[in-house]
């Protein structure tokens, strides 16, 4: 299936006695934004690690950009990038130096030019020669995402890209993600924020108790729950209401 960026079938993963993934299935089409939604501890990062070849599954298959992660991890790595939950930039280096370093690691021909392009694109040119330790949270996040774009990966994993960020920075990140997707990059995003999935994702999957319990477009998820009739006013459920109805507990409890 050429048009699939990710195909996951029957994925199981346990950490000793703890069964985190218990038969996870889903697919992600190329060029789309896919949001994996789940409470803290649901297993989102575990899935990201398996798909990005950092961790081996116990059983089941995962095919990323046409390569089986268990058979061709090197090939998978060449087509993806991963931005983790915690920013990976080097504090002591400047923004420009961070970018050049990654471009060199990726064996690109003109690392300096690659860095300049990204600095401009992410509105970091004026701060390019300052140490990252002096950057604001939003600037770091932008640099982090810029770094993940070096080498033009077909698929980008963003593991909780906005957790802990203030609302303006979150909006900034959303804009970047939308732009990337518009340019044809596939985005696999994990989030605990229902609004984030609602804003960004073409498809949303909810991971709960080791399985994907629903998977569809926002419109499809909404259709699972017929609108509540309050006299003559139809009310569409929000993603939050759908999530709570499925998971069966309050968001606070899910922490
Ligand atoms: N290396 C590990 N060893 C043992 N338990 C782990 C390890 N990594 C994660 N876990 C546990 O597995 C569960 C899922 O973790 P994780 O995939 O990080 O969830 P999420 O990213 O959805 O918050 C959690 O209960 C976590 O404590
Ligand atoms: Mg996580």
- What pLDDT, in 10s, does the model give residues 149-206? 888 899 999 999 888 777 888 888 898 899 889 999 999 999 988 889 999 999 999 9
Taking the C-alpha atoms of residue 241 and residue 22, their distance in angstroms, rounded to an integer, is 25
* Token duo for residue 106: 């990726």
Ligand nearest to the backbone CA of 84: 2
Note the pTM of the prediction, 2 decimals. Answer: 0.86
Question: Where residue 88 falls among pLDDT bands split at 50, 70, 90?
Answer: confident
Averaged pLDDT of the chain: 89
Contacts of 26 (CB under 8 A, 6+ apart): 6, 8, 34, 205, 212, 215
The pLDDT value given to residue 247: 83
Given a cut of 70, whether residue 253 has pLDDT beyond it is: no
Identify which of 105, 95, 192 has the alpha carbon closest to the alpha carbon of residue 146. 95
Nearest CA to ligand 1 atom 11: 41
Contacts of 63 (CB under 8 A, 6+ apart): 4, 6, 7, 8, 69
Neighbouring residues of the ion ligand 2, judged by CB less than 5 Å:
44-45
Bridge-based pairing of strands 80-83 and 228-230 is unpaired
Taking the C-alpha atoms of residue 210 and residue 76, their distance in angstroms, rounded to an integer, is 24
């Amino acid at each position: 299936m050429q048009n699939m960026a990710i195909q996951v079938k029957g994925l199981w993963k346990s950490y000793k006695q703890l069964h985190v993934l218990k038969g996870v299935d889903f697919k992600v089409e190329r060029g789309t934004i896919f949001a994996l939604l789940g409470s803290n501890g649901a297993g989102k990062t575990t899935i990201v690690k398996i798909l990005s070849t950092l961790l081996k599954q116990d059983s089941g298959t995962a095919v990323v950009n046409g390569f089986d992660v268990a058979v061709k991890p090197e090939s998978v790595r060449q087509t993806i990038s991963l931005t983790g939950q915690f920013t990976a930039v080097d504090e002591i280096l400047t923004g420009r130096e961070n970018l050049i370093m990654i471009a060199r690691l990726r064996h690109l021909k003109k690392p300096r030019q690659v860095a300049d392009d990204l600095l401009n694109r992410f509105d970091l040119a004026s701060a390019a020669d300052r140490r990252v330790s002096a950057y604001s949270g939003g600037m770091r996040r932008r640099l982090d995402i810029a770094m993940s774009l070096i080498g033009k990966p077909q698929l980008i994993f963003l593991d909780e890209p906005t957790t802990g960020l203030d609302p303006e920075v979150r909006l900034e990140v959303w804009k970047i993600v939308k732009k990337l997707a518009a340019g044809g990059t596939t985005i696999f995003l994990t989030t605990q924020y229902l609004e984030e999935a609602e804003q960004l994702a073409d498809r949303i999957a909810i991971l709960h108790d080791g399985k994907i319990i629903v998977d569809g477009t926002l419109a499809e998820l909404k259709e699972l729950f017929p609108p509540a009739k309050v006299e003559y006013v139809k009310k569409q459920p929000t993603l939050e209401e759908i999530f709570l109805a499925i998971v069966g507990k309050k968001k606070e409890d899910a922490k």
